[in-house]
C-alpha cells in the first residue's frame, strides 16, 4: 500500500469502499496526489491494472457551499451520454469514516491537461487554434443542453441567478478576506447597478478553462473530458464565457497564477475572438458582455483570496500557492478598469 504525498488518504479504506461500488476486481491500491491542484485535492489511484481519480474537499478553511463532492458527482453522472465529454463516474462516498470527508471516484482518462505555458508551448500553432475551437464548440454544446433532458431540471434556479451570485460572492469575500480591499465594495456596487436586462439560462459549468480539459495526446483538438464540475448549476450560461475570458491570458499582460500564461502563445485566439466565436456558435448577441467579463474577474479574485486564506493557514496541498494572493489586486484592478471603460449602463460608475 502507498500514500505517496497523501498521508491523510487511507488507501486501505478506499480500496474496501471501491470494491463495493466498482465492477470487476480491485486490487491493492497506491495513491498519488496530482500536482497542480489548488482547490479540491485530487488523487490518482491504481491497482497496477486499472486506474481511477479520487476527489475530495480541501482540509481547513472551506467556504460555505464550496467543494460539494455530491454536486460534482451528480453533474458528471448526468452528462455521461450528452454531447459534452466527461469521465465515467464510479461512486460517491458520503461516509466521513472512510477518509475523513466525502469524496467520489471516476475513471482516469488517459490524456493530458495543459496547465502552464510550458505545456501549451509543446503544441503547434495549428493545434492551439484547434483546441481553442473545440473548447468553444464544447461550451456552446453544453449551454444548448436542455437540463430536463439529462435529469438536471432541479439543478438550480436560473431566475435571479446573477443577483444571487453577487450576494454569494460578497459573503465569500467576507468569509475569506485577509486584507482590506475597497475595490470589492465598489465593484459590487457597479455590478448591481449594471445587471444585464436579459439572461441566457442553462447548465453552467462554473470553472470552464483550459486546464479543466483532458485532451487527447495525439490530437490536442480532441477533448476527452471536461473536468471540475464542483461549481456547476443552472443559471446564466454566459457567466461561463466570462470565466473563460478571465483565465485566457494574453502576451504582454499579467498572467493569472492558475493558468500561468497557458494561452499567451501564437495560435490561441484573443478574448474578443473567443466572445465572437461563442456568440456565433450559439446564435446569440450579448450587448452586456462587459458585465460578464467584469464579474468574472471579480469572482476569480475572491476565489483566489479564499485559496490564499487556506494557504496562510497551512491547509493547501500541491504546489505554486505562495503567489496566489498577489493576483487578487491585479484582477480587481482589471475589473475596475473594464467597468470604467464600459458603455453598459451602471457599470462605468
Over residues 290-307, the pLDDT tens digits come to: 999 999 999 999 988 988
Distance CA 88, CA 228 (A): 13
275 and 150 in a single domain? The answer is yes
| Res. 16: pLDDT tops 60 | yes
What's 54's domain CATH number?
3.30.200.20
Query: Any bridge partners for residue 45, and if so which?
Result: 31, 52
Q: Residue 183: enclosing H or E segment and its boundaries?
A: helix 182-193
100 and 171 in a single domain? The answer is no
CB distance 293 to 246 below 8 Å: yes
Q: What is the pLDDT of residue 8?
A: 64
61 and 132 in a single domain? The answer is no
Q: For residue 288, is it within any domain?
A: yes
Q: For residue 19, is it within any domain?
A: yes
Q: For residue 349, is it within any domain?
A: no
| Res. 148: pLDDT tops 70 | yes
pLDDT for 205-214, tens place per residue? 999 999 999 9
pLDDT for 152-195, tens place per residue? 999 999 999 999 999 999 999 999 888 899 999 999 999 999 99
Please list, in sequence order, all residues whose beta carbon lies within 8 angstroms of the beta carbon of residue 179, skipping any fewer than 6 positions away.
none
pLDDT for 215-269, tens place per residue? 999 999 999 999 999 889 999 999 999 999 999 999 999 888 788 899 999 999 9
Q: For residue 77, is it within any domain?
A: yes
Taking every pair of Cα atoms in the chain, the longest distance, rounded to a whole number of angstroms, is 62
Q: What is the pLDDT of residue 55?
A: 93
Domain's final residue, options 56, 79, 107: 107
HSE (CB half, 13 Å, CA atoms) of 285? 1
**Full domain range(s) for residue 23:** 2-107
Phi, psi angles (nearest 5°) of residue 33: -70, 125
CA 155 to chain centre: 17
Q: For residue 348, is it within any domain?
A: no
168 and 53 in a single domain? The answer is no
**DSSP secondary structure of 195-227:** --SS--EEEE-S---GGGEEE-SS-TTSEEEE-
- Given pLDDT bands bounded at 50, 70 and 90, which one contains residue 323? confident
Specify the 3-state DSSP secondary structure of 102: coil
Domain's final residue, options 107, 133, 159: 107
Q: What's the total number of domains in the chain?
A: 2
pTM (2 d.p.) = 0.90
Q: For residue 248, is it within any domain?
A: yes
Please list, in sequence order, all residues whose beta carbon lies within 8 angstroms of the beta carbon of residue 167, skipping any fewer than 6 positions away.
none
CB distance 239 to 296 below 8 Å: yes
Phi, psi angles (nearest 5°) of residue 42: -125, 130
Q: For residue 190, is it within any domain?
A: yes
Q: For residue 161, is it within any domain?
A: yes
135 and 91 in a single domain? The answer is no
130 and 236 in a single domain? The answer is yes
pLDDT for 54-63, tens place per residue? 999 876 544 4
Q: How many CB atoms lie within 10 A of CB 48?
A: 9
Amino acid at each position: 500500500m502507498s500514500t505517496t504525498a497523501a498521508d491523510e488518504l487511507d488507501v486501505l479504506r478506499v480500496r474496501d469502499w471501491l470494491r463495493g461500488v466498482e465492477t470487476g476486481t480491485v486490487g491493492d491500491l497506491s495513491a498519488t496526489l496530482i500536482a497542480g491542484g489548488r482547490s479540491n485535492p485530487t488523487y490518482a489511484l491504481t491497482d497496477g491494472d486499472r486506474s481511477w481519480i479520487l476527489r475530495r474537499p480541501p482540509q481547513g478553511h472551506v467556504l460555505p457551499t464550496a467543494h460539494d463532492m455530491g454536486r460534482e458527482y451528480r453533474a458528471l453522472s448526468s452528462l455521461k451520454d450528452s454531447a459534452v465529454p466527461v469521465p465515467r463516474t464510479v461512486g460517491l462516498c458520503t461516509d466521513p469514516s472512510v477518509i475523513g470527508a466525502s469524496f467520489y471516484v471516476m475513471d482516469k482518462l488517459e490524456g493530458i491537461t495543459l496547465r502552464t505555458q510550458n505545456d501549451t508551448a509543446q503544441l503547434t500553432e495549428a493545434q492551439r487554434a484547434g483546441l481553442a475551437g473545440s473548447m468553444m464548440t464544447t461550451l456552446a454544446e453544453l449551454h444548448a443542453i436542455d437540463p430536463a433532458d439529462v435529469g438536471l431540471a432541479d439543478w438550480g434556479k436560473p431566475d435571479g441567478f446573477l443577483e444571487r451570485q453577487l450576494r454569494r460572492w460578497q459573503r465569500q469575500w467576507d468569509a475569506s478576506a485577509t486584507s482590506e480591499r475597497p475595490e470589492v465594495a465598489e465593484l459590487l456596487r457597479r455590478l448591481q447597478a449594471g445587471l444585464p436586462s436579459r439572461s441566457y439560462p442553462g447548465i453552467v459549468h462554473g470553472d470552464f478553462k483550459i486546464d479543466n480539459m483532458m485532451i487527447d495526446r495525439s490530437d490536442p483538438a480532441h477533448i476527452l473530458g471536461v473536468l471540475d464540475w464542483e461549481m456547476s448549476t443552472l443559471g446564466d450560461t454566459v457567466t461561463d464565457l466570462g470565466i473563460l475570458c478571465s483565465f485566457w491570458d494574453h502576451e504582454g499582460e499579467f498572467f493569472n497564477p492558475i493558468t500561468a500564461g497557458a494561452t499567451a502563445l501564437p495560435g490561441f485566439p484573443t478574448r474578443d475572438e473567443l466572445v465572437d466565436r461563442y456568440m456565433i456558435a450559439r446564435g446569440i448577441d450579448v450587448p452586456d458582455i462587459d458585465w460578464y467579463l467584469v464579474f468574472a474577474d471579480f469572482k476569480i479574485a475572491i476565489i483566489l483570496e479564499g485559496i490564499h486564506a487556506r494557504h496562510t493557514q497551512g491547509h493547501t496541498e500541491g504546489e505554486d500557492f505562495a503567489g496566489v494572493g498577489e493576483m487578487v489586486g491585479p484582477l480587481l484592478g482589471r475589473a475596475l478598469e473594464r467597468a470604467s471603460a464600459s458603455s453598459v449602463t451602471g457599470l462605468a460608475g
